[in-house]
């Protein structure tokens, strides 16, 4: 179900036969709830494949030693990977150590981020140390080897595209890792301005001042207290949190209510 190919693999970790490493991982982890106990196949250690046409077990190679059939039009001897669907434009990235899709000419490997990105991002993407070598902050799937589409947020952190869409459905627009805004919030900040201007505070709070930290630009500001939110004096963002005085709710947590 994962690839078009004419072979199966013998898993070096459990000595069982599976159609591919993903089939192995899904079967072995279907009942596992603890990520620490996950049982995943070490792809580079696969040594034996079984031809799907003649059932001959043999060392990893592109053509069956018995019937001569091509086990996969795309073949990587390093990853022990076979796939007949070459429209994916697979290529092996030496720096990543695994095969990628999308065409070698369309991607570059960022040394600091430790992964391949589209060349569209080559001159302007924000670098984050080993950006893909962690779990998605929403679904917790390991991003470096995921089969699902990934997006790079303006802050440089990575996340599944579908997880971002799920966040948007729940009116969440800040990075779950660093809390920076994930998109242009200018129109929402204008709405905050209008609501604050039309909502005067009671006399006892009229001259109250508080210190805030901006999640977007990182600057501290001393601003007038308001129950709706606090605006950063530097970048004009309302994605802020109080850092002195009585504990209060960060403005970012009120975004969903304002959008509604």
Residue-range domain boundaries for the chain = 7-88, 91-169, 189-259
Report pLDDT digits (tens) over 232-258. 999 999 999 999 754 444 455 455 444
Where do we find the tokens 């091509």?
A: 70
User: Which class would CATH give 189-259?
Assistant: mainly beta
Q: Cα 35 to chain center, whole Å? A: 17
**Joined tokens for residue 65:** 């030693």
Instruction: Tell me if 71 sits within 8 A of 56, measured CB to CB.
Output: no
For residue 41 the two structure tokens come to 């196949």
* pTM of the complete model beyond 0.75: no
Contact indicator for 200, 227 with CB cutoff of 8 Å = no
φ/ψ bin of 150: left (φ > 0), alpha (ψ from -120 to 50), beta (otherwise)? beta
Question: Do 129 and 113 form a contact (C-beta atoms < 8 A)?
Answer: yes
How high is the pLDDT of residue 249? 46
- Cα–Cα distances in Å, from 85 out to 52, 74, 98, 108, 121? 17, 8, 17, 22, 27
Bridge pairing between strands 98-100 and 158-160: unpaired
Q: Hey, is 134 helix, strand or coil?
A: coil
Helix (H) or strand (E) run with residue 109 in it:
strand 107-110
254 neighbors 229 (Cβ within 8 angstroms): yes
CA distances from 96 to 21, 93, 218 (A): 18, 5, 32
Q: Which residue has the tokens 């530097």?
A: 234
β-strand partners of 51: 7
Tens digit of each residue's pLDDT (9 = 90 or more) over 13-41: 889 999 998 888 888 877 665 555 667 88
Torsion 192-198-202-206 (CA) sign: positive
Q: Give me the residues paired with residue 67 across strands.
A: none
- Rounded Cα–Cα distance for residues 67 and 55 (Å): 10
Residue ranges of the alpha helices (H) in the chain? 21-29, 161-169, 186-197, 255-259
Dump pLDDT digits (tens) for 189-210: 999 999 999 999 998 888 899 9
**pLDDT above 70: percentage of residues in the chain:** 91
pLDDT, one tens digit per residue, over 48-94 is 999 999 999 999 999 999 999 999 999 999 999 999 999 999 999 99
């Amino acid at each position: 179900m994962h690839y078009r190919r004419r072979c199966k693999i013998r898993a070096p970790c459990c000595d069982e036969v599976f159609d591919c490493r993903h089939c192995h991982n899904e079967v072995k982890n279907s009942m596992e709830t603890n990520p620490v106990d996950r049982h995943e196949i070490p792809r580079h250690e696969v040594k034996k494949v079984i031809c799907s046409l003649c059932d001959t077990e043999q060392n990893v190679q592109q053509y069956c030693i018995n019937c001569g059939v091509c086990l996969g039009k795309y073949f990587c001897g390093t990853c022990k990977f076979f796939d007949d669907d070459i429209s994916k434009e697979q290529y092996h990235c030496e720096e990543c150590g695994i095969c990628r899709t999308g065409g070698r000419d369309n991607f570059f490997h960022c040394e600091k981020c430790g992964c391949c990105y589209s060349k569209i991002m080559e001159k302007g993407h924000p670098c984050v140390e080993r950006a893909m070598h962690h779990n998605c902050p929403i679904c917790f799937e390991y991003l470096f080897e995921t089969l699902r589409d990934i997006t790079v947020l303006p802050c440089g952190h990575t996340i599944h595209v579908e997880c971002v869409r799920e966040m948007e459905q729940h009116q969440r627009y800040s990075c779950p890792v660093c809390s920076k805004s994930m998109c242009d919030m200018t129109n929402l900040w204008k709405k905050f301005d209008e609501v604050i201007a039309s909502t005067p505070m009671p006399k006892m709070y009229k001259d109250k001042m508080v210190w805030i930290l901006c999640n977007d630009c990182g600057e501290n500001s001393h601003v007038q207290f308001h129950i709706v939110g606090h605006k950063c004096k530097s970048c004009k963002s309302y994605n802020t949190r109080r850092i002195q005085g009585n504990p209060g709710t960060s403005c970012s947590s009120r975004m969903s209510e304002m959008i509604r």
